[in-house]
Amino acid sequence: MTDKTAVATAPGKVILFGEHAVVYGRPAIAAPLSHVRARASLESIENNGVILHAPDLSRKMMLSDAAEGDPLAAPLRAMQQAGLVPALSGVRLTVTSDIPIASGLGSGAAIAVAVIRAMAAYSDLPSLDAASVSRLAFEVEKQHHGTPSGIDNTVIAYETPVYFERRDPESFIEIFSPARPLILLVGDTGVRSATRHVVGDVRRQWLADRERFEDLFDACGKIAAEAKEAIALGDPKTIGLLMTQNHDWLRKMTVSSTELDTLVEAAIAAGAYGAKLSGAGRGGNMIALVSENSRDAVAVSLRKAGAVQVLESRVT
């Protein structure tokens, strides 16, 4: 037996504008968080089985025992179902990640993308392009939360800022780089919140009052379209105001929380251009747009207001 290994990584992400509304066809904007990553490695083993190992979560099991939708098994199965790789044997998949789980930073999609890339390398597939990786990760996302928009797998597989609109059969994807780098602080409430539950709850509310929720989604879509222009002009004041407005609409959708509102208010009070929750909400992370001058004060204020972690990220 020849010893074989393959390793791949994928970044986290933040949604700058338009979460939830993007599920209902409105535009949204997202950017990668390249310094927090998921990592997947595959190595050949003596045993014939396929071992799945997530040491951070103290999980170790055989692929044959993994439930449907298991985050480690699902990307491997999606590749097999797509006819890209044969049935596996004699392999150990190890996944680690420094992207906090259930915190709006795309950890599920990042794990899927890392596993797909590692598997492609391990199987000597001609390297898969970002669109193919994204499509496969989308199949995995569907198992995790039923009605994903596709923005997470897209921004993570392309690893570049994207303007995204869910469309059938192909979503609209425009990659861009801002006229001026955006300096973001990403503040973690420390409260975990499963995307699937929050997305499902928004759907229930939409079904109960479609008119109101369509209006809320329209307002967020309009903000995302305006933000696209402000980002292209390099106008941080407008971008910040639009972020705070987006947060207010998300509150009306009931996806904020006391912790998120407290961090958003603290960031703005300390001089951020604007701030909002990012991702599914009800916990997880918020983002604040800052300048070189305000970043330190905003970071201190976020920590004082209860952020368990504050990361800085530049969208370029």
Instruction: Please report whether residue 20 would count as binding ligand PMV according to CB under 6 A.
Output: yes
Q: Residue 287 class from Cβ within 10 Å (0-12 exposed, 13-18 middle, 19+ buried)?
A: buried
Selecting among 56, 129, 152, 218, the annotated active-site residue is: 152
x-or-dash string of contact with ligand PMV, 155-194, rule CB under 6 A: ----------------------------------------
Minimum distance of ligand PMV from residue 164's CB (angstroms): 9
Q: Which stretch binds ligand PMV (CB under 6 A): 15-23, 40-48, 57-65, 178-186?
A: 15-23
| Interaction pattern, residues 264-283, with ligand PMV; x per rule: CB under 6 A | ---------------xx---
> Which of these ranges, 12-20, 64-72, 289-297, 305-313, lies near ligand PMV under the rule CB under 6 A?
12-20
Residue range at the interface with ligand PMV (CB under 6 A); choices 13-21, 81-89, 242-250, 262-270? 13-21
**106 binds ligand PMV, rule: CB under 6 A:** yes
C-alpha to C-alpha distance for 127 and 133, rounded to whole angstroms: 10
Return d(Cα 256, Cα 191) in angstroms, integer. Answer: 12
Return the C-alpha torsion angle 8, 9, 10, 11, nearest 10. -160
Axis-axis angle for helices 195-208, 130-145 (nearest 10): 70
Q: Which of 8, 23, 74, 302 binds ligand PMV (CB under 6 A)?
A: 23
Binding segment toward ligand PMV, per CB under 6 A, in 100-108, 225-233, 268-276, 306-314? 100-108
| CA–CA gap between residue 92 and residue 90 (Å, rounded) | 7
Contact 40, 118 (CB under 8 A): yes
Q: Which of residues 212-271 bind ligand PMV (CB under 6 A)?
A: none
Cα–Cα distance, 131 to 133 (Å, whole number):
6
Q: Could you tell me the smallest distance in angstroms from the CB atom of residue 11 to ligand PMV?
A: 12
Q: Where are the alpha helices (DSSP H) in the chain?
A: 73-81, 107-122, 130-145, 151-158, 195-208, 210-233, 236-252, 258-269, 295-304
Least distance (Å) between residue 156 CB and ligand PMV: 10
Any contact of residue 32 with ligand PMV (CB under 6 A)?
no
Percent composition of the chain: helix, strand, coil (DSSP 3-state, to 5): 45, 25, 30
Residue 29 engages ligand PMV in binding (rule: CB under 6 A): no
The count of residues interacting with ligand PMV (CB under 6 A) is: 16
Instruction: Compare residues 12 and 236 and give the one whose CB is closer to ligand PMV.
Output: 12
Closer by beta carbon to ligand PMV, 15 or else 121: 15
Shortest reach from residue 126's CB to ligand PMV, in Å: 29
CB atoms within 10 A of CB 229: 12
Whole-angstrom distance, CA of residue 204 vs CA of residue 18 = 19
* Residue 92 parent element (H or E): strand 91-97
Verify whether residue 188 is a known catalytic residue. Answer: no
Q: Which residues bind ligand PMV (CB under 6 A)?
A: 15, 19-20, 22-23, 104-106, 148-149, 151-152, 195, 199, 279-280
- By annotation, the residues acting in catalysis are 152
